[in-house]
Structure 1
Amino acid sequence: MMRIARFEFSEGARFQPGARKDDPNSVGQHIDLLRKQQHGELTPKDVVSDARNPNSPLHSFFEWDDGEAAEQYRLQQARGLIRSVVAIYTREDAPAVKMKAYVHVADPGAQHYREASHAMSQERTREMVLRRALDELIGWKRRYKDLQEFAQLIPVIDQLRDEISAPR
């Protein structure tokens, strides 16, 4: 039988400013304790409920100012809304094509969304969009590489990584 030896935060995990990230093992152990208390079925509501206690090791990972938390939630909703818009592009000589209308441009210090065809037509923003997409794909690979059903995708992801990362 396998058992968990320790807990860490995933590579690239992002937390709010002030989160106590120095002891991921105690955070993981605490979350696992909550899971056990819930008979193996942990929900985000269980985590937030526990984290309300200022003595919980999870407390610092949440925004407790209700006004700020509400604003952050609205920003998250806005991101979701932007990502959900699809544009239908037409030309006289071709059938209509559906595409995401906007892509996220991870410009350091000025992250934003840009109309997809414009972003992909500019070398600098195209590189940022492709880099982010590749990072997400590599993250997907890390999460699911042990599932036999997806094993045939791993070499394809590795080939894409090599092609996109190759110097131009």
Structure 2
Amino acid sequence: MSPAPKIVGFEFATGARFQAGEHPDANEVGRHMEMLREKFKGEITPEDVLSDAKNPNSPLHSFFEWKDGDAAHQYRLAQARGLIRAVVAIYKKPEEPAKKMRAYVHIKEAGAPHYREIGHAMSVKSTREIVLRNAWREFQQWRQRYKDLAEFATLFEAADDLEQKLLSGAKH
């Protein structure tokens, strides 16, 4: 069994939209979020990020708008979700090139939605199923939006083949 890939760095996703901090260092932000995730037993929520970011010494602090208003808390939670989604991990296995992948995936568990490091989420059967179902649903929504574009016909045929394989595998 090969060793699990290790995170060797972080970047912000291309096109990520969030209020840039004073010193937007993706590695510092990613390492800090990993520390929070480990502190909270492998899970991280926007509340966790926001709670930490309230401390002016946190590397996350400058990514948020701190002027209070009627919707300040909800707005900051949206900022926290955007920041979590913007972090890209750089994974490295021995003897293989580094691979970039978003660091956290949203887990929509009833009553306790949260984000997990993608490798951890995919290694646990229950969360793996949640991630794959969500990805398939999002793909189907995207497919519906672009169904009339002939350029994607081959992709849609491959998706139909994959769906048939997944369905036949689930029956065994």
Report the TM-score when normalising by structure 2. Answer: 0.53
Q: 1:161 to 1:79 in 2, by over 3 A?
A: farther
Q: What one-letter code is carried by the residue in structure 2 that aligns with 1:85?
A: V
Distance 1:115 1:156 in 2: 28
Q: 1:91 to 1:154 in 2, by over 3 A?
A: closer
Large movers: runs of 4+ above 6 Å? none
Q: Aligned match of 1:145 in 132, 144, 147?
A: 147
SS at match of 1:152: helix
Q: What one-letter code is carried by the residue in structure 2 that aligns with 1:122?
A: V
Confirm or deny that 1:108 pairs with 2:110. Answer: yes
Cα offset, 1:141, TM superposition: 0.8
Q: 1:150 to 1:163 in 2, by over 3 A?
A: same
SS at match of 1:104: strand
| 1:1-168 mapped onto 2 (5 Å cutoff) | 67-68=70-71, 70-166=72-168, 167=170
Which whole-Å deviations, capped at 9, do the CAs of 1:102-121 have from their partners, x for residues lacking one? Answer: 11112122111001111111
SS at match of 1:82: helix
Q: 1:153 to 1:71 in 2, by over 3 A?
A: same
Query: Greater relative contact order: 1 or 2 (C-alpha under 8 angstroms, separation 6 or more)?
Result: 2
Report the TM-score when normalising by structure 1. Answer: 0.54
Identical-residue share of aligned pairs (%): 54
Alignment match, 2:35: none
Distance 2:97 2:112 in 1: 36
Q: 1:165 to 1:102 in 2, by over 3 A?
A: farther
Q: How many residues align?
A: 102
Q: What one-letter code is carried by the residue in structure 2 that aligns with 1:131?
A: R
Cα offset, 1:165, TM superposition: 4.5
Q: Which runs of 5+ in 2 are unaligned?
A: 1-68
Distance 1:109 1:73 in 2: 21
Q: What one-letter code is carried by the residue in structure 2 that aligns with 1:160?
A: L
Q: For the Cα contact (< 8 Å) 1:138–1:157, is it kept in 2?
A: no
Alignment match, 1:58: none
Alignment match, 2:20: none
Distance 2:77 2:167 in 1: 32
Q: What one-letter code is carried by the residue in structure 2 that aligns with 1:142?
A: Q
SS at match of 1:159: helix
